[in-house]
Structure 1
Amino acid sequence: MDHPIRVAAQVIDGALKSVADVNPAFMTTPDKAAALVELAAIEDRVGELRLRVTADASDVAEESGARDIGAWTAAATRRRRGNCAADLRLALALADRPVLATAVREGEVNLDQARAIAVSLAELPADVDAAILDQAEAALVAYAARFDPIELRRLGRRILDVVAPEIAEAVEARHLADLEASAQQRMRLGLRSLGDGTTRITGLIPDATAARLATYLHAFTNPRRDDADPEPAEARRTPHGRKAARAFCQLLETLDPTRLPIHGGDATTLVVTMSLESLRAELGTATLGNPAPGDSVDRITADEARRLACTAHLVPAVLGGKGEVLDLGRSQRLFTRVQRRALALTDRECRAEGCRVPAPWCEAHHAGAPWAAGGRTDLADGMLLCSHHHHRAHDPTCTSERLPDGGVRFHRRT
């Protein structure tokens, strides 16, 4: 005689076969709504029963030589191993948490909510008293009547504030200290040139550092007024990831090298090496950095080098025909902080026609003769341009004209 659980599975299977050919298109709207809720509840209760069997099925894995019942289930049912492993963890958690298991069995908590509650309870420190743990379990199960899994996870992170406020702060402090120590050990950052003009950055950094970076990037990507964007339609189509990447590039260009650690006997700088002909011509290339033997050499266009020379703290090494250094520029070519403040007072925003990007988000540009052509870093020769229009100013496919009000208008070369 079959076990009652198998009999129940056969009854459910038979009931499903009886409606296999029924078309739900002919259901009324209220019937569809009710059926969706009822079937979801049944699905969760069947899932709980499967997990209940899973928790006591280690003998099945032992008999077949499988690593555990999760691995056996993945092979026997052709399911993803990761999903089966997650099911096993939840099954074992429910076996240890009778209040939660009963709530799932009776349909008061669905499986997604149960996972959120189980993870929240597992994240509580091991030295938390068992009675407090039971209170936390009961409280989260009660919250499941009103909150979805995401909200339950948020509540779970602060559940000690509810059930044990007298120890919550100390426990959280220890937990955060452990997380921060772990983050310091696990953080990584790698840069790999892809050979197509881009470099892939991969990393893992502490949350506090990531929050600071996000705040800095937001200063560049913060939405402006509707009339501030010279190309509003294009800006709306720009993916957020590209905006963030552009902001990251701008952030690096605005770093003050005098605030960085001493490197090689001088404040950290980056050398751009190019020929005198490339410096003066519209075409040409430059070498970026001072690579060590064996390192790859990064190449950029001369136009990009001239643009960087306006704002970035770079040292331009200009070479003559025989490779001798004709000029090793210094940071005096950059607009000083005082000059920047003066430009902010006079310009107030990007000077490109129709652009309203505010001064704090703009870059100082040599409006007269460019630095590469011997221009001077004088206040009278300076103007503020947003990053978009600063690129246009150094784009060989664009021309510009000064307007009577001191602004600048850009055109595509024809």
Structure 2
Amino acid sequence: MSPVFMESSAREVAMRGVVAARAQLDELELRLIACSADVAQTDAGRDVAAWQVAHNRRDRKAARADQRLAEALDRRYEVLRAGLADGTVHVDQAHVIARALDDLPAEVAIETRAKAETVLVGLAAQHTPSELRRLGKRILQALDLDDAEAALARRLEAEEASAFKKTSLSLRPDGDGTTRITAVLPDAVAHRLQTYLDAFTSPRRSERRGEGTYPQILGQAFCSLLERLDPAILPQHGGRATTVLVTISLESLRNDLGVGEVVGGEALSATEIRRLACTAGIAPVVLGGKGEVLDLGRERRLFSNAQNKAIAFRDKTCRAEGCDMPASMCETHHWREWSKGGRTDLNDGVSLCSHHHHRVHDPRYTADRLANGDVRFARRR
């Protein structure tokens, strides 16, 4: 019978049954993997995982993970294997439980390991793999052992040291105006980054729901986070606080459609250069008609913390007409641009949310300061 024609209660029973049946099939496959080294040797395969990749078109990473789990179930974790066999534990949970047990400190007694295995297998009936991962890290505490706290501390210290060694970050320009960032970070640092980005995105989710996916909004929040870093607190670079040097002709600096170039080769519109000058350390290298340096402009720093607080206290919200984004979540815009002699003082600062800060530098829009201090936007015709 097609599931479409089944009663809702029958479909519920069927879905539960399918999950249990899949777990039982997975257990059978893992038992086969554990005893099939000779199969891999028939065509000189490195191991069963390599044979799976070649003959069953498995993903290499997944095949190796399955082989590790198969060996763990065969040699160490009979209770966990039995949970898979009777369908009470599914394979995603089994991977997590086996990893948690393998990560227990070497000095943990065999009896304690067996008890931890039994407890985690029992918890699988109520918890997802992610939840089991967290519970597994604290299983010794859950067993109420005398040295559980010390054992957990040693384990976390080892995990943190390993995470730091694995930390990496690479930037690869895609050639279309974007750069792909790939990073591996310690969990604590990643959590801090997530918290910072949530601070940028949370108040905006409802108003920007139609403007892109959550990953897109998160990426925009990451850009805003970097742009709001105070260059004064960054490490010295070449004997001075980190500054972005931008080369631009005097004529381009004055035009809305001009183009400049970051020292290093990337092109930027004059509009973007003016916007960045509000939120980053920017020093314009102004060139004459023949490319000679007419002026190495002063670096434009962020408003000071005290100035930002004063402007936020004064403005309360984004000053774009009708926008109620809290000022604490806004950026401070230089109303009179540095290219036109603007100064970093309270009278020249105005709170704008990231969306409206981009619009104020967007040549497609006009922005007028009203008598009450609000900013009114209108699309150019």
TM range (shorter): 0.7 to 0.9
**Alignment partner of 1:392 out of 344, 359, 362:** 359
**Alignment partner of 2:318 out of 350, 358, 363:** 350
Partner of 2:342: helix, strand, or coil?
Answer: coil
Q: 1:354 is matched by which residue type in structure 2?
A: G
- 1:300 paired residue number: 268
- What RMSD in Å do the two structures reach over aligned CA positions? 2.9
User: Percent identity at matched positions?
Assistant: 51
Count matched residues: 380
Encode CA deviations 1:176-213: one digit per residue, 9 max, x unaligned.
Answer: 22222222222211122222111111222222222222
Residues 284 and 302 of structure 1 are in contact (CA less than 8 Å); yes or no, is this contact kept in structure 2?
A: yes
Max Rg structure? 1
Q: 2:312 is matched by which residue type in structure 1?
A: A
Cα distance between partner residues in 2 of 1:149 and 1:376: 55
- 2:371 paired residue number: 404
Q: How is 1:284-363 mapped onto 2 (pairs within 5 angstroms)?
A: 284-289=258-263, 291=264, 297-331=265-299, 335-363=303-331
Encode CA deviations 1:311-359: one digit per residue, 9 max, x unaligned.
Answer: 3221122223344443333246754444333322322221111111222
Q: 1:130 is matched by which residue type in structure 2?
A: I
Encode CA deviations 1:264-302: one digit per residue, 9 max, x unaligned.
Answer: 22222111221111111222111213x3xxxxx011011
Question: Structure 1 stretch 301-310 or stretch 70-79: which is displaced more?
Answer: 70-79
- 1:14 paired residue number: none
Residues 283 and 300 of structure 2 are in contact (CA less than 8 Å); yes or no, is this contact kept in structure 1?
A: no
The 1:167/1:392 distance shift into structure 2, 3 A limit, reads same
- 2:67 paired residue number: 88
Note the residue ranges of structure 1 that are not aligned, 5 or more in a row. Answer: 1-21, 227-231, 292-296
TM-score (norm 1): 0.81
Question: Structure 1 stretch 376-385 or stretch 237-246: which is displaced more?
Answer: 376-385
Note the residue ranges of structure 2 that are not aligned, 5 or more in a row. Answer: none
**Alignment partner of 1:371 out of 338, 361, 377:** 338
1:99 correspondence with 2:67: no
Encode CA deviations 1:63-90: one digit per residue, 9 max, x unaligned.
Answer: 5543333444555556555554444333
Q: 2:334 is matched by which residue type in structure 1?
A: H
Cα distance between partner residues in 2 of 1:400 and 1:197: 27
Residues 132 and 164 of structure 1 are in contact (CA less than 8 Å); yes or no, is this contact kept in structure 2?
A: no
Question: Structure 1 stretch 383-392 or stretch 46-55: which is displaced more?
Answer: 46-55
Question: Structure 1 stretch 28-37 or stretch 297-306: which is displaced more?
Answer: 28-37
Partner of 1:222: helix, strand, or coil?
Answer: helix
- 1:170 paired residue number: 150
Partner of 2:108: helix, strand, or coil?
Answer: coil
Give the superposition deviation at 1:409.
0.9
**Alignment partner of 2:229 out of 251, 255, 258:** 255
Q: How is 1:147-162 mapped onto 2 (pairs within 5 angstroms)?
A: 147-162=127-142
Give the superposition deviation at 1:390.
1.8
Partner of 2:181: helix, strand, or coil?
Answer: strand
Cα distance between partner residues in 2 of 1:336 and 1:42: 63
- 2:111 paired residue number: 131
